[in-house]
């Protein structure tokens, strides 16, 4: 095993995994195992109320059923824990303090309604570009507002462009002030923001490769900037295509779209599912039942498409227990 290569699967246990989560776990595992690297399972349960531990436990059972293993993390533990974000607040506070000492943080008292006002510019991912309303508050003004409302912590961004080459999507460039804006690192309710937590965790766990959905591509510039501020090299990123329903909508845990709960009740094992996913992402010429371990020598990043993938309608119209792999070969 190469100690220098480390990948991770970092799901949010707010419900059972759907097929898009499975594809991400599969590609992350194939990539790191083919390089002889270390695999980490990190449970991203920052909002503990929304992510009960029972879902994290079920998630582990689902991953093992798929034939995907990991070297450290989750309930298995390891030398770089905690592996549950809900247990990492002191570590995130240390990272926050580093930013505070650099003079880069300021309190933000804006309400959600203010942030999402009709006049606020919206980014391509639906987020709001912060207008800097609280950026120049005086210490006296901030103290007065603190008596009324608990502030969030927001990070100043410089007039700078971040450029990197994504391992799946290719070159990507983002202007921090124009396409990102000052962003939150801790919410007003005290919950640490995803951007800070994921950077602190990847740095601490020695993650060198991040495989995740292309919907998170726009957050990468912020994370690269945070890695730099905290004094760590960023990992190599690969943003994979999203799996879409036949009508083009995104899969959702809320809608139970081909969830592992349904699939595990319907299929005798995971090999038909792995084969169908491998076919959709260019790893097999036709759908064939296969395990992740059997797929390993065939895996090639060059064959993974860049554009989002629509699941064939037949998958939705036919119960999983009646999936006919041979009938799908010529589709």
Residue written as tokens 């194939």?
Answer: 30
What is the model's pLDDT at position 329?
A: 44
In this model, does residue 158 exceed pLDDT 80? yes
Q: Which two tokens stand for residue 17?
A: 């995994």
What is the model's pLDDT at position 29?
A: 98
* CA nearest neighbour of 87 among 37, 46, 145: 46
CA distances from 44 to 8, 86, 184, 185 (A): 12, 8, 17, 15
What is the model's pLDDT at position 117?
A: 66
In this model, does residue 305 exceed pLDDT 90? yes
What is the model's pLDDT at position 249?
A: 85
Number of other residues whose CB lies within 10 A of the CB of residue 167: 17
What is the model's pLDDT at position 103?
A: 95
Contacts of 32 (CB under 8 A, 6+ apart): 5, 6, 7, 38, 39, 209
In this model, does residue 121 exceed pLDDT 70? no
Q: Mean per-residue pLDDT for 67-78? A: 97
What is the tens place of the pLDDT at every residue in 24-59?
999 999 999 999 999 999 999 998 888 889 999 999
What is the tens place of the pLDDT at every residue in 206-246?
999 999 999 999 999 999 999 999 999 999 999 999 999 88
Residue written as tokens 């690297």?
Answer: 37
Q: Are strands 183-186 and 243-244 parallel, antiparallel or unpaired?
A: unpaired
Q: Where are the domains of the chain?
A: 6-83+241-322, 89-203
pLDDT higher at 71 or 262:
71
Residue written as tokens 């996913």?
Answer: 277
What is the model's pLDDT at position 265?
A: 85
What is the model's pLDDT at position 331?
A: 41
What is the model's pLDDT at position 325?
A: 52
Q: 168-172, 256-260, 307-311: lowest mean pLDDT where?
A: 256-260
Residue 306 CA to residue 290 CA, distance in Å, equals 23
Q: Tell me which of 98, 102, 253, 306 is the catalytic residue.
A: 253
What is the model's pLDDT at position 149?
A: 92
Residue 147 annotated in active site: no
What is the tens place of the pLDDT at every residue in 173-217?
999 999 999 999 999 999 999 999 999 999 999 999 999 999 999
Q: 126-135, 255-264, 287-296: lowest mean pLDDT where?
A: 255-264
Residue 40 CA to residue 38 CA, distance in Å, equals 7
Number of other residues whose CB lies within 10 A of the CB of residue 282: 14
Per-residue confidence band for 251, with pLDDT thresholds at 50, 70 and 90: confident
In this model, does residue 120 exceed pLDDT 90? no
What is the model's pLDDT at position 74?
A: 96
* CA nearest neighbour of 158 among 249, 222, 239: 222
Residue 256 CA to residue 329 CA, distance in Å, equals 26
In this model, does residue 303 exceed pLDDT 60? yes
Q: Mean per-residue pLDDT for 245-251? A: 83
- Percent of the chain at pLDDT > 90 equals 73
Q: Does the domain at residues 6-83+241-322 carry the CATH identifier 3.40.50.2000?
A: no
What value does the mean pLDDT of the chain take? 90
Q: Mean per-residue pLDDT for 268-296? A: 94
What is the model's pLDDT at position 330?
A: 41
The CATH number of 89-203 is: 3.90.800.10
- Percent of the chain at pLDDT > 70 equals 89
Per-residue confidence band for 327, with pLDDT thresholds at 50, 70 and 90: very low
| Binding residue numbers | 8-12, 44, 108, 110, 130, 134, 194, 212, 253
| Binding residue numbers for Zn(2+) | 108, 110, 130, 134
In this model, does residue 328 exceed pLDDT 60? no
Hey, do 6-83+241-322 and 89-203 end up sharing a CATH topology, with the first three levels equal?
Answer: no
What is the tens place of the pLDDT at every residue in 82-116?
999 999 999 999 999 999 999 999 999 998 877 77
| Binding residue numbers for L-glutamate | 8-12, 44, 194, 212
């Amino acid at each position: 095993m190469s100690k220098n290569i480390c990948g991770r699967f970092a799901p949010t246990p707010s419900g059972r995994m759907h097929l898009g989560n499975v594809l991400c776990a599969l590609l992350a595992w194939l990539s790191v195992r083919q390089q002889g690297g270390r695999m980490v399972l990190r449970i991203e349960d920052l909002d503990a109320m929304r992510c009960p531990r029972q879902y994290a436990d079920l998630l582990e059972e689902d991953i093992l059923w798929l034939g995907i293993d990991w070297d450290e993390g989750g309930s298995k533990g390891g030398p770089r824990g905690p592996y549950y974000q809900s247990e990492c607040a002191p570590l995130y506070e240390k990272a926050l303090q580093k930013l505070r000492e650099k003079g880069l943080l300021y309190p933000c008292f804006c309400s959600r309604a203010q942030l999402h006002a009709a006049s606020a510019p919206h980014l391509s991912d639906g987020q709001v570009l912060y207008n800097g309303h609280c950026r120049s508050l005086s210490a006296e003004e901030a103290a007065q507002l603190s008596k009324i409302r608990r502030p969030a912590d927001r990070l100043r961004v410089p007039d700078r462009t971040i450029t990197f080459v994504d391992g799946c999507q290719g070159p990507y460039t983002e202007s921090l002030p124009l396409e990102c804006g000052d962003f939150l690192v801790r919410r007003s309710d005290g919950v640490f923001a995803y951007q800070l937590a994921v950077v602190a965790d990847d740095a601490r766990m020695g993650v060198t490769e991040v495989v995740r959905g292309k919907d998170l591509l726009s957050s990468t510039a912020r994370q690269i900037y945070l890695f730099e501020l905290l004094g760590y090299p960023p990992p190599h990123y690969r943003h994979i295509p999203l799996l879409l329903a036949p009508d083009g909508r995104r899969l959702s845990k809320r809608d139970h779209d081909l969830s592992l709960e349904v699939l595990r009740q319907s299929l005798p094992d995971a090999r038909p599912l792995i084969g169908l996913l491998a076919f959709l992402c260019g790893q097999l010429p036709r759908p064939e039942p296969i395990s992740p371990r059997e797929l390993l020598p065939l895996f090639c990043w060059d064959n993974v498409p860049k554009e989002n993938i629509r699941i064939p309608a037949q998958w939705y119209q036919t119960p999983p227990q009646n999936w006919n792999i041979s009938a799908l070969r010529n589709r």
